[in-house]
Chains A and B, each alone.
Chain A
Amino acid sequence: MSHDAALGVPAHSGHAAPGGPPDEPPAPRRRRTPAAPYLLLVPALVALVAGLAYPVGKQIVMSVQKFGLEQQFGQAPTFVGLDNFVRVFTDDALWAVVARSIAFCLVNAFLTVVIGFAFALLMRAVATPVRLMLQVCLLLAWAMPMVAGVTVFKWLFDYRTGVVNWLLVQLGFDSFAGYSWLSQPFTFFLVATIIIVWMSVPFVALSMYAGLTAVPEEVLEASRIDGANGRQQFWHILMPMVRPVLSIVLLLQIIWDLRVFAQIRLLQDAGAPVSETNLLGNFIYELGMSRQDFGGAAAVSIFVLLLTVALSWPYVRSLMKEDA
């Protein structure tokens, strides 16, 4: 579609450019670049520069400046070269956070994609009423605002009257009576993982289901006639055909799970040990907003941005393919 429209326009460039004389015959070889598209882009560009490009530039400047005690009393920051990078990146605290973030990201992305794919296969296998029920329930979970979702989970995992502890006690695990999930780093991340997976599975499941329905029924029918069993159909037909969707969805989950910040921040409110539960975003927040070390925070931020851009490259390429 987009391909047709993009090709269609140059042939009619006479009226595509409102400023130009409409009777001029279109000359495909030496056509003037019209001014109209540039004018149309101006508002969006201004907004992007004001809200994103300028901060990116400012961040680069901040990362080579010193923000110490004098700066808190109104002095202009001083240029210190790469001191901030050296200081932050030789600190073991940062590497602990980086390792924790990567581990958390990979575990969450992997769990989300596996469970989401399983749900998609389940939707394909069950009768229509069950499928619709599953779709509606997933959509409701997906639609929940993030802050409301985290708040509900805090209530579910409440140490005194939460449903989870009650259920575990009913099942015979008496040690969970009054168990405080959020005050130990391990159980803290367990709860965080449950929340993130719960929030992210619907997107994966519904995307993968859309991908699975694109596999023509005739192909599966033909393989069944040829005697393929369910497992063979899965590995030799479904998997190769949904692999593009699967890899994009996995990539998006990795990118999104690497930037988890708000959920952790909200869970920390319940009294978790902050330094042991920080992920990259939280580390930056603490460095900048709490300790006023804007130079160090900017240096770590640049690292996060570069990491994101590197990870995003294959995704952006797949989207560009559609733009043709």
Chain B
Amino acid sequence: MSAVAPVRTPHVRASAVAAKKHAPRAGRRRVRSFALGTLGVLASLLWVFPVYWMVLSAFTPAAYLRATTPQFLPLHATAVNFRRVLEGGSFTAALGMSVAITLLTVVLVLAFAFLGALAISRWKFRGRTSFVLAVLFIQMLPAEGLFIAQYKMLSGAHLLDSVIGVTVLYTAAIIPFTIWMLRGFVAGVPAELEEAAMVDGLSRTQAFLRITFPLLAPGLVASGVYAFLQAWNEFTIALVALNSNQTLPLWLRNFLSASANRGVDWGQVMAASTLIAIPVIVFFLFVQGRMTSGLVSGAVKG
């Protein structure tokens, strides 16, 4: 801890000062901790306000949203905005599209990435390092730098505006990080466990299915949720590859533009946003710890 060394010099002076001004210092510390606590509460409220405002507006009747003075508390809660959004039928169509694309993507990503993660964490083989390196670079490629070519590819294959076309692009975009995430889980289950089971008379397949697979279940769930979030929220590729068959993010954008002509009905727009956000928030809270550590793991471990 050489970093501590430069601190040494003020040592004498600091403790002498502390002895002289002991009482006012304690008081100042209390003031300081109170100020920091207040700052913390204010920062929390500031950051959560947009989320609160979305949900609150969704439950507020249009008349109150148009008033010059905003209502900050749910005094006139109503579900009418939600009913309006759902009764049009276009929301349900977009929901169907989103569910189809998301489910297909999650299944493909999990299956392919799981096999890939097994390969790179259970075997040493020629090309392994290049593969891992390629995977890490690929996950950094922005959709914004590729969507023109992806659009031309899909239009050439007559897959524009289809579930399959978008799924192909989503699967490729999500697999790299998922392989990286699952690799950690697979490596976390020692191969010795499987071997012990095989010594006890299980075949390799049995050992894998009964010992390793259950231990990997949390990793598969976390990766599945990650893939779900990516596919469900995706906007850029959907904007390029879809036209009349819209996913929910695209639908929300059009819903807002369409209502802009006759003065936006923010209550309905916020109800629609809330409907899209709820599954995401629920699932997100579930995996976020894993995502943070996955993204910066190299840095934390040094």
Contact A50 B172 (CB under 8 A): yes
Partner of B150 from the list A55, A133, A137 (CB cut-off 8 Å) is A55
- A20 CB, min distance to chain B CBs, angstroms: 12
Residues of B within 8 A of A136 (CB): 44, 48
Q: Mark A residues whose CB is within 8 Å of B.
A: 1-2, 4-6, 8-10, 12, 15-16, 18, 33-34, 36-38, 40-41, 43-44, 47-48, 50-52, 54-56, 58-59, 62, 119, 122-123, 125-127, 130-131, 133-134, 136-149, 151-156, 158, 161, 163, 166, 198, 201-203, 206-207, 210-211, 214, 219, 222-223, 226-229, 232-233, 236-237, 240-241, 244-245, 247-249, 252, 255, 258-259, 261-262, 265-266, 269-270, 280-281, 284-285, 288-289, 294, 297-298, 301-302, 304-305, 308-309, 312, 315-316, 318-323
Determine the distance from Cα of A259 to Cα of B268 in the docked complex, in whole angstroms: 30
B50 an interface residue at 8 Å Cβ cutoff?
yes
Closest to B192 in A: A8
Q: List 26 A-B contacts (CB under 8 A).
A: A1-B187, A10-B124, A15-B198, A37-B125, A38-B119, A47-B175, A48-B138, A51-B168, A52-B146, A56-B141, A62-B152, A125-B36, A143-B288, A146-B235, A148-B252, A151-B269, A161-B67, A198-B50, A210-B300, A227-B15, A240-B3, A259-B143, A270-B260, A301-B149, A320-B298, A322-B301
Contact count band on B: 35 or more
Since A37-B125, A155-B57, A247-B299 are in contact, a sample of 8 more A-B pairs with Cβ atoms closer than 8 Å, ordered by chain A residue number, is A1-B188, A2-B184, A62-B152, A139-B285, A155-B264, A211-B296, A269-B253, A281-B145
Contact A301 B148 (CB under 8 A): yes
- A194 CB, min distance to chain B CBs, angstroms: 10
By secondary structure, the A interface counts as: helix
Residues of A within 8 A of B186 (CB): 5
- B116 CB, min distance to chain A CBs, angstroms: 4
Using a CB-CB cutoff of 8 Å, which residues 143-179 of chain B contact chain A? 143-153, 168-173, 175-176, 179
Determine the distance from Cα of A15 to Cα of B122 in the docked complex, in whole angstroms: 11
Contact A142 B288 (CB under 8 A): yes
Given A1-B188, A5-B190, A55-B146, decide whether A37 and B252 contact each other with a Cβ distance below 8 A: no
Partner of B296 from the list A4, A149, A207, A222 (CB cut-off 8 Å) is A207
Closest to A199 in B: B50
